[in-house]
Amino acid sequence: MTGMRQIESDEARRIVESGTVRPLGELLRIAEARHEGGRGGLGLEYGRSQDDPDRYLFATEVEDADGVVWSMLLDAHTGEIVEDGRTQEEDGPEAEGPAETRPEAPEL
């Protein structure tokens, strides 16, 4: 998984206002559109990539129509989905195997 360092709310506000990144609502709509019936808003945060500190990322979780929760990471500037994996339930059968990933979706 791509590493992300969370940024402070003042920096997040500044980069949104300057147009450096897309607004939270727009990124959330991209994430929700990825999964049928997607509802997001579970843990929203902007951060910087640990591999490229000039790259801003947006992390959230989206619950699909079947109640499956997906952990998603988007490029906060372009809206490109960087990572999209099914979260692991601690007690469920999924907990022992790797997270499911889905192919890239077109940008909205």
14-52 pLDDT tens trace: 999 999 999 999 999 999 999 999 998 788 999 999 999
User: Would you place residue 5 in the very low, low, confident or very high pLDDT band (cuts 50, 70, 90)?
Assistant: very high
CA distances from 22 to 13, 96, 101 (A): 11, 36, 24
**Residue-level length of the chain:** 108
pTM, 2 dp: 0.78
Q: What proportion of the chain, given as a percentage, has pLDDT over 70?
A: 81
Q: 12 pLDDT exceeds 90? A: yes
**Helix (H) or strand (E) run with residue 57 in it:** strand 56-63
How far apart, in Å, do the first and last CA atoms of the chain sit? Answer: 24
Q: 84 pLDDT exceeds 70? A: yes
Q: What angle do CA 46, 101, 103 make, to 5 degrees?
A: 90
Q: What is the pLDDT of residue 1?
A: 55
- Nearest CA among 91, 94, 108, 100 for reference residue 71: 100
Average of per-residue pLDDT across 56-77: 95
